[in-house]
């Protein structure tokens, strides 16, 4: 199987964009992730898939984290945490009860660690939701290698 073509195929699934943040010995850390999903309502659980080769993988092990769902104006934030940092950070940190979060996100979900599962070259981190906030606005999306936005407007097809 051609892995690059498989990745391109998976890119045809439109997703929202998140930055997953946590606290480390050296301060706050984050990674851009579009592999995020709700798992359970009772108890409230969410899942984030993290590549084993990233720094974030080591930071996430047995650590509280926050999933920051980005709004349509936070493309630079997504790029910053995807390995293309800006000289001046395009975001502000806010200290959460369990993990740091990003100011101005469309929503955030603060979690304590629940379980970790082997996912091949990734690890699936499941967090138990402790706090969450959702705000009004448009969502940042990712499809076929490009950012876009999703609004609540109804479009007839």
pLDDT recorded at residue 83: 87
Residues 17-42 have a mean pLDDT of 94
pLDDT recorded at residue 154: 65
What's the predicted TM-score (pTM) here?
0.92
pLDDT recorded at residue 155: 66
- For the record, the structure tokens of 88 come out as 């001046």
What confidence category does residue 42 fall into, taking pLDDT thresholds of 50, 70 and 90? very high
Residues 121-149 have a mean pLDDT of 94
Q: How far apart are the first and last CA of the chain?
A: 35
Residues 85-105 have a mean pLDDT of 93
pLDDT recorded at residue 17: 96
- For the record, the structure tokens of 100 come out as 């740091």
pLDDT recorded at residue 59: 93
DSSP codes joined into one string, the chain:
--HHHHHHHHTTS-EE-EEEEEEETTEEEEEEE--EEEEEETTEEEEEEEETTSHHHHHHTT--EEEEEPBTT-HHHHHHHTT---SS-SS-EE--SSS-EETT-SEEEEEEEEEEEEETTEEEEEEEEEEEEE-SSPEEEEETTEEEEE-S-----
What confidence category does residue 107 fall into, taking pLDDT thresholds of 50, 70 and 90? very high
Tally Cβ neighbours within 10 Å of residue 98.
19
CA dist 114 and 60 (Å) reads: 12
Residues 114-121 have a mean pLDDT of 95
**pLDDT at residue 72 greater than cutoff 80:** yes
CA dist 132 and 33 (Å) reads: 18
Residues 103-132 have a mean pLDDT of 96
């Amino acid at each position: 199987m051609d892995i690059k073509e498989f990745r391109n195929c998976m890119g045809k699934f439109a997703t929202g964009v998140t930055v997953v943040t946590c606290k480390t010995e050296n301060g706050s850390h984050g990674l851009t992730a579009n592999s995020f999903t709700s798992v359970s309502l009772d108890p409230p659980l969410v899942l984030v898939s993290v590549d084993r080769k990233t720094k974030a993988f080591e930071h996430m092990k047995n650590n509280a984290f926050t999933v920051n769902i980005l709004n349509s104006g936070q493309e630079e934030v997504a790029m910053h945490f995807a390995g293309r940092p800006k000289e001046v950070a395009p975001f502000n940190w806010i200290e959460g009860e369990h993990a740091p979060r990003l100011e101005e996100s469309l929503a955030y979900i603060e979690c304590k660690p629940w379980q970790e599962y082997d996912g091949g070259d990734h690890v699936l981190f499941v967090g138990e939701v402790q706090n969450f906030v959702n705000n009004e606005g448009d969502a940042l999306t990712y499809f076929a290698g490009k950012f876009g936005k999703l609004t609540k407007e109804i479009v007839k097809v």
